[in-house]
Amino acid sequence: MLEKFDLDGKAIVVTGGGRGLGRGMAMALAEAGASVMVSARTQEQLDRVVAEIRGAGGTATSFACDVTDSKQVDAMIAAAAKEFGKVDAVFANAGGGGGANAEFQEYPDDGFEAVLATNLKSNFYTSRAAAAQMIKQGGGGVLVVTSSGTALRGNRQFAYPTAKGGVISLAKSMATMLAGHNIRAHCIVPGFVSQSPPKDDQERAFREQRGKFMPVQRLGEWWEMGPLAIFLASDASSYMTGHAFVIDGGGLAGGLGPIAFRPKHEW
């Protein structure tokens, strides 16, 4: 049964694959046997990830791409289909901050649109292009990555959680719309995750301090999305679709008070 976790012969595209979680997922997917195409805007980052994967004995290629431009995204999926002959799974992982820091009633159009482009439209474009290819070939998996930041409402950067919430709805819609084409769709919801090892002691101390606010008492690490990526891209999750997989050290399961708050009342 555990051969279901193997990704031998599968072709997988990971956007935002130049660093952080995308790099972690790409490396794990390749380790499990997949041929991986990593995509990001910066070719230099991609070259490093491709070299790392190849150095570990995996198969990887890259495609520099701005995922907010649907033409480039279509070209990316076409390139993957040409390179591998198919696209078994796509991880629409690219995203980012940006936008404006403003009161709600003053929040500017361009700030809102920029955040939606980076975090929601990009996922839609990537998923749409991949789904078209998957329908042609008879099936596949679409995985969109959002953030538990979608639950951080009511601050001056509300556009980000708004876009990230849209990504969850996108995954659920795709799950029902594409099930008939043998395509499963999921959303990955990472919590606070360190994108790379700490640069210095100050950063290490800052992360330790932030980690104290998580039930597991630490931040997530960049590689920890890897096993989930393997699970979702593989046949191990064959009867699952449309779910938002939260990987956040227990953050969203709680959240009713500061982490040290443990009510005591006995009778």
Partner 1 sequence: MTRTKYFDLTGKKALVIGAELPAGGAIARAYAEAGADVALAVLTADEAVMRARAVKRDIEAMGRTAAEYVMDVTLGKNVQVTMRQIVKEIGGLDMVAIAPDLFLAKPIEKISDTELQRVMQVNFNAHFFAVRHAAEEFRRLNQPGRIVCVTSVLGERGLPNATAYAAAHGAVHNFVRAASQELAAERIMVNGIALGWMDWMTDRISPDDEEAQRAVRFTALRRAGRADEVGPLAVYLSSELATRNITGQIFPVDGGLTQHL
* Residue 164 among the catalytic residues: yes
Q: Is 175 in the site for partner 1 (CB under 8 A)?
A: yes
Helix, strand or coil, per DSSP, at residue 12: strand
Cβ neighbors of 151 (< 8 A, separation 6 or more) are 161, 252, 255
Residue 107 near residue 101, CB atoms below 8 Å: no
Alpha carbon 187 to chain centroid, angstroms: 8
Q: Which of residues 135-174 bind partner 1 (CB under 8 A)?
A: 172
Q: Which of 10, 160, 194, 234 is an active site residue? A: 160
Q: Which of 62, 148, 234, 237 is an active site residue? A: 148
Decide whether 28 or 36 has the Cβ nearer to partner 1. 28
Q: Please identify which residue in 240, 258, 265, 266 interacts with partner 1, judged by CB under 8 A.
A: 240
- Tell me the two tokens of residue 193: 């995750």
Q: Please identify which residue in 42, 43, 155, 176 interacts with partner 1, judged by CB under 8 A.
A: 176
Element (H, E) at 64: strand 59-64
Shortest spacing between CB 230 and partner 1, in angstroms: 6
Q: Is 250 in the site for partner 1 (CB under 8 A)?
A: yes
As a whole number of angstroms, the distance between CA 217 and CA 124 comes to: 34
Q: What binding mask, one character per residue, do residues 24-53 give for partner 1 by CB under 8 A, x or -?
A: ----x--xxx--------------------
Shortest spacing between CB 100 and partner 1, in angstroms: 31
Residue 158 near residue 106, CB atoms below 8 Å: no
Is the torsion defined by CA of 221, 223, 224, 229 positive or negative? positive
Q: Is 56 in the site for partner 1 (CB under 8 A)?
A: no
As a whole number of angstroms, the distance between CA 153 and CA 165 comes to: 10
Beta bridge partners of 183: 140
Q: Please identify which residue in 64, 78, 135, 252 interacts with partner 1, judged by CB under 8 A.
A: 252
Q: Which of residues 183-222 bind partner 1 (CB under 8 A)?
A: 184, 191, 193, 214-217, 220-221
Q: Which of 10, 86, 121, 164 is an active site residue? A: 164
Shortest spacing between CB 236 and partner 1, in angstroms: 3
Decide whether 253 or 265 has the Cβ nearer to partner 1. 253
Residue 24 near residue 225, CB atoms below 8 Å: yes
Active-site positions read: 148, 160, 164
